[in-house]
Amino acid sequence: MRIATWNVNSITVRLERLLAWLERSQTDVLCLQELKCDAAAFPAEPLRAAGYEAAVHADGRWNGVAVLSRVGLTDVTRGLTGGPAFNGSAEPRAVAATCGGVRVWSVYVPNGREVGHEHFAYKLAWFSALRETVARDAAGRTPFAVLGDFNVAPTDHDVYDIARFEGATHVTEAERTALTELRGTGLTDVVPRPLKYDRPFTYWDYRQLCFPKNRGMRIDLVYGNAPFTAAVSDAYVDREERKGKGASDHAPVVVDLALEAD
């Protein structure tokens, strides 16, 4: 089974590329973030014609998440248990589904904006709710993973130049502690396994030629429990999809699983 995550940065703008990538990559389950559309505007019909069901959690703002599957889609959950609100809004940043015997969460963690900003406190509270929500599944026997844009670089090696991030979000001790606590539920970062690039960044700003200069960050992550991690046969960042006109500023992260048949 091939499972992937991709911050598509507007599914409406990126639909043609998304459909082409699904065909080319032969992905079975795809977690999407930053849909930038509401549920009614989600392109369910073109995706269904391509063979994919969809679980969507979106309201048309700058957020929105989905799980696409061509191997079945059941037990959909939208939102986190006890998830915090920001400015009175419970933003659509998390959706879960069971696909082909694997349980996945697609998550779009708040950016945090600036250290000390109320959005930064919201980000940490959101991480806490995520940890509490997934703890039972993480400790279970079913292959389980949390995939998405975590807006945190786990280590200094996951940014192109740590000195340029001094005092900024995405690399603070508090954010990395939140990741550590999430892993403490029984999850492992599965992507630093066989990789096709020495520095597998997943995000490059559109500005200042960041992609051609490889000034990126690894903030799109796959955290799997023990049954999920034991089944991983390959993992890579599809850097090629970041190239060309109309690309998202994030690249897909792909994980292959060798699962035993029921």
- 221 within some domain: yes
Catalytic residues: 108, 149, 250
Tell me which residue range forms the domain holding 23.
2-257
Annotated binding site: 7, 34, 149, 151, 249-250
List per-residue pLDDT tens for the chain, 262 residues long. 999 999 999 999 999 999 999 999 999 999 999 999 999 999 999 999 999 999 999 998 889 999 999 999 999 999 999 999 999 889 999 999 999 999 999 999 999 999 999 999 999 999 999 999 999 999 999 999 999 999 999 999 999 999 999 899 999 999 999 999 999 999 999 986 445 556 689 999 999 999 999 999 999 999 999 999 999 999 999 999 999 999 999 999 999 999 875 5
Beta bridge partners, 159, equal 217
Backbone torsions φ then ψ of 166, nearest 5 degrees: -60, 125
- 78 within some domain: yes
What local confidence, expressed as pLDDT, does residue 199 receive? 64
What local confidence, expressed as pLDDT, does residue 198 receive? 61
| Domain containing residue 53: CATH number | 3.60.10.10
Cβ pair 68, 32 in contact under 8 A: yes
- 34 within some domain: yes
Whether pTM > 0.85 for this model: the answer is yes
Q: How far is CA 60 from CA 12, 92, 199, in A?
A: 11, 9, 34
- 131 within some domain: yes
- 62 within some domain: yes
- 262 within some domain: no
- 163 within some domain: yes
- 63 within some domain: yes
Let me know if 256 is exposed, middle or buried by CB neighbors in 10 A (0-12, 13-18, 19+): middle
Domain count, the chain: 1
What local confidence, expressed as pLDDT, does residue 194 receive? 42
